[in-house]
């Protein structure tokens, strides 16, 4: 019975290691997502500032070159924003997949822990039963000896 428990403990340790590896992958995926999302945020803030300056220059009747440069910069920013948005979406998708992977491994570890708990309870009950039988046998022997 104890050998069986040791086997389950080994399985639990393996599953625990797999879960820890999955959690590490999730942290890496999360950091990658955060990096891309921050970059996208920065680009969108730049775009917002440029659009504000562009609108201001239109209302101030600024030089045509200034207005043109704002417009060109906006045209330059848009593909970069779209590109980074795709990276953010891909990073989010990967992060979600890794999160599912972590959850599956967490569930596996919990299953093994439940099995180990049940086996330990069974072992304890068997041990208690054997102790009771031994006590009964000792009592009977003492009674017979009298």
Residue-wise pLDDT for 22-49, tens only, equals: 999 999 999 999 999 999 999 999 999 9
Residue 129 CB neighbour total at 10 angstroms: 10
Q: Over the chain, what is the mean pLDDT?
A: 91
Q: Are 113 and 9 in contact (CB under 8 A)?
A: no
Q: Are 101 and 25 in contact (CB under 8 A)?
A: yes
Quick one: pLDDT at residue 2?
Answer: 67
- Say if residue 124's pLDDT is above 80: yes
Mean pLDDT of 126-146: 89
| Coil vs helix vs strand at 63 | coil
User: How far is Cα 34 from Cα 38, in angstroms, rounded to an integer?
Assistant: 6
Angle at 70 between CA 75 and CA 73, to 5 degrees: 35
- Say if residue 61's pLDDT is above 80: no
Quick one: pLDDT at residue 53?
Answer: 86
Spell out the residues 6+ positions from residue 118 whose beta carbon is closer than 8 angstroms to its own: none
Confidence bin at 87 (pLDDT 50/70/90): very high
Quick one: pLDDT at residue 62?
Answer: 66
Q: What is the pTM of this model?
A: 0.72
């Amino acid at each position: 019975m104890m050998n069986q428990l040791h086997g389950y403990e080994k399985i639990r340790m393996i599953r625990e290691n797999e879960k820890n590896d999955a959690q590490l992958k999730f942290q890496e995926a999360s950091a990658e997502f955060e990096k891309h999302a921050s970059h996208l945020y920065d680009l969108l803030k730049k775009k917002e500032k440029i659009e504000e300056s562009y609108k201001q220059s239109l209302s101030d009747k600024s030089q045509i070159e200034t207005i043109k440069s704002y417009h060109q910069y906006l045209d330059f920013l848009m593909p970069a924003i779209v590109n980074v948005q795709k990276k953010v979406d891909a990073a989010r998708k990967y992060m979600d997949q890794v999160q599912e992977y972590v959850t599956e491994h967490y569930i596996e570890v919990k299953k093994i822990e439940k099995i180990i708990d049940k086996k330990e309870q069974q072992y304890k009950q068997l041990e208690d039963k054997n102790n009771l039988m031994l006590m009964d046998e000792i009592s009977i022997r003492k009674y017979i000896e009298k």
